[in-house]
Amino acid sequence: MLALTHLAAGQPHQAVRVTESMLKHLTEIDSGDDEQQSPRAAAVRESVSTMLLAARARLDSYRKDVREGKFDGGQSVAIASGWAEKALMKLKEWSSSAGASNWARLRDGLVNQGKHISQESACLTFAGCLVEAVTRSHQGVPSCSPPREIYDNALTEAELCLTNHVMTSRKNRGSKQVDSQANPIALYLLALVCAHRNKGEKALAVLEELVDTSTQVYTFGRALAAVLLACLRKVDNAIDVIEDTLKNVTKSSHEEVFLLRVRSRLCERHKRSMEVHVVEDAIDALSAAGHKRQASLLASDLAHYCISDSQEANKVKFARLAVQLDDTCPSAHFALGSTLEADGNEHAALESYENAMGTVSQHGPSALAAASLLARKEDNFVWHARSLCKDALKWDMYNAEALVTLAKMEGKWRFPRFLCL
């Protein structure tokens, strides 16, 4: 109860300390058990629930640290994944020892003393941790991140586990279809895992089964479908998906902000027109409601869109508004820097990029923009440009633009091999 109280109060670090103490107690209990005997249902229930709680606490603490610009190279999310995987394996072990290793029994999970713990819960936690790890666990300390092959193997396992939960075999056919009663969170996570494994078509097929429940899961699922459609060069269809979803969300809600940001980025990157006044009205409403950070993020995205659409007056207006709304938001300073650089004011642009990196250490977009700008200057700036480019790779170690920029610099100035490591 104490750990759950800390999580509900937004204190994940305290919850981590509580669950660590609980896990030590479980270890002592398990070490005294006879390994030849099947674990008792009550003991399994306690172990699994504690492991899942520990995974959630670790994941929440990791996300809070990332929001504050604190990175640990994915250590916390790796620990969370480990506890979720142990919980999953323990449930499988219990089901097998009970003489029912089929998926239906595993799906039903463990019911004891009025408490229900299903393998689906463990599977969802495990898949969620993996997706978080693959997405950004390397930020700040990429050298601590495991090789991509390890993640690929884990994602394969997560895809198999989720598929078995959301799919049912069609009668008289060898294929499978999505269960009409499938957990929407499981569907969304399966689509995310498929997207990370470059299975865009399968991800879209899974997302088509999401029922409109007016929840965040449905909103995120529709946004993911739009991004996947854009990747398949169906940009107009992608924007239509966002527009349709926007009609059913509450004004000034987190869902509306998220969808407006996705639409702004799609229109920016794929040169599509967008009604600026609609987003501007949303910014005003968010600001009036006291949601300064969200309003600042929307204004930042709108500034980038205006840069791509050559709206000279609006790009400056919204970039400065973003900083005015929240001067601790790195995206706001980055947007202002991009605007100033587009106007040819490189010195002021560099200052804005540095302000962004001052709010969040190694802010990737700003580091890369500053590196590219400095690389075009005199040769005595090259060392600083190269250092910034490496900072950008610490933010996103697979950023193709950063990798190409760094390769060009190292090829042009022929850095000694040991300095390129």
- pLDDT digits over 183-200, tens only? 888 899 999 999 988 899
Whether residue 119 has pLDDT greater than 90 = no
**Which of 135-144, 280-289, 383-392 is modeled with the greatest confidence?**
280-289
Per-residue confidence band for 225, with pLDDT thresholds at 50, 70 and 90? very high
In angstroms and rounded to an integer, the radius of gyration of the C-alpha atoms of the chain is 24
C-alpha span between 320 and 355 (Å, rounded)? 13
Whether residue 32 has pLDDT greater than 60 = no
Per-residue confidence band for 110, with pLDDT thresholds at 50, 70 and 90? very low
C-alpha span between 312 and 119 (Å, rounded)? 55
Q: What is the pTM of this model?
A: 0.79
Tell me the three-class secondary structure of 301-362, residue by residue: HHHHHHHHCCCHHHHHHHHHHHHHHCCCCHHHHHHHHHHHHHCCCHHHHHHHHHHHHHHCCC
pLDDT value, residue 183: 83
Residue of 362, 408, 411 lying closest to 387 (CA atoms): 362
Q: Which residue has the higher pLDDT, 377 or 30?
A: 377
Q: Phi then psi for 394, rounded to 5 degrees?
A: -70, -25
What does each C-alpha distance from 93 to 38, 88, 102, 104, 149 come to in angstroms?
9, 9, 12, 15, 27
Whether residue 348 has pLDDT greater than 90 = yes
Structure tokens given for 258: 């998220």
Which string of b and e fits 298-316 if b means at least 16 CB within 10 Å? bbbbbbbbbbebebeebbb
pLDDT value, residue 55: 86
Q: Phi then psi for 232, rounded to 5 degrees?
A: -90, 15
pLDDT value, residue 154: 79
Whether residue 141 has pLDDT greater than 60 = no
